Amino acid sequence: MKKYNTFFKQMTKLGFLIIMGLSMATCGAGSEYKKIPISKRVDISQPNVKTELLVHISKEDNYAFSLLFKYKNPKERELVSQLMRGKDANGRSTNGENTPISIDVYTIKDGQNVLVSIGGGDSFPTNASGLGYLKLIYNDYLMPGDYRVLIDTKAGNPKFKDIEVELYIGLAHRPK
């Protein structure tokens, strides 16, 4: 019985060390640049919320920066759909609820942030996708390198409080 307890203690210690090692590796990976496509949760329900994302671009191409509105069940899907597809007073389709935001894209050279471009606005067209609903807020042709993307909510919209929204960055076109 004593031999079994010693073996069990050793295996517990080994398991603990493995878990600690994996946790430390995961924490270190969080500070590295992410590769495309990527997304990061953003709160657009409140004003002046800044969200930053570090991105590594390995291929020269046109990249799309979108807000991704996700849903988990049919009830959430219906709510998101209503917010994404609105009608004006004359019954014409609109781009849905306003999402007033700005986006700044910086390239990082020699440890310095160099502003590459500025985008944003109040109303963006909506497209349904397998991921949820996407509102394209900006696209740009980017060269390989490291970038810092900063999104800032200008006014916030409380109607999005209970909806999962992410800043999604991917190719602006589908590869063949």
> Does residue 142 sit in the same domain as residue 154?
yes
Q: Residue 7: pLDDT band by 50, 70, 90 thresholds? A: very low
Q: What is the pLDDT of residue 5?
A: 52
CA 71, CA 69: separation in Å to the nearest integer?
7
Residue 57 lies inside a defined structural domain of this protein: yes
Statement to judge: residues 19 and 54 lie in one domain: no
Helical segments of the chain, H only: 2-30, 74-84
What's the pLDDT at 6? 54
Domain for residue 134, yes or no?
Answer: yes
Total number of domains in the chain: 2
Q: Is the same domain home to 126 and 137?
A: yes
**pLDDT tens digits for 114-156?**
999 888 888 788 888 888 899 988 888 999 999 999 999 998 8
pLDDT-based confidence at 89, cuts 50/70/90? confident
pLDDT band at 24 (very low <50, low <70, confident <90, very high): very low
Residue 28 belongs to what domain range?
1-32
Do residues 86 and 153 share a domain?
yes
* Contact yes or no for 83/160 (Cβ under 8 A): yes
Tens digit of each residue's pLDDT (9 = 90 or more) over 28-54: 334 456 677 889 999 999 999 999 999
Q: Which of 171, 176, 174 is nearest to 66 (CA)?
A: 171
The answer to whether position 79 is within a domain reads yes
Same domain, 113 and 167: yes
Q: Report if residue 107 sits inside a domain.
A: yes
pLDDT of residue 67: 92
Q: Are residues 69 and 19 in the same domain?
A: no
pLDDT at 114: 92
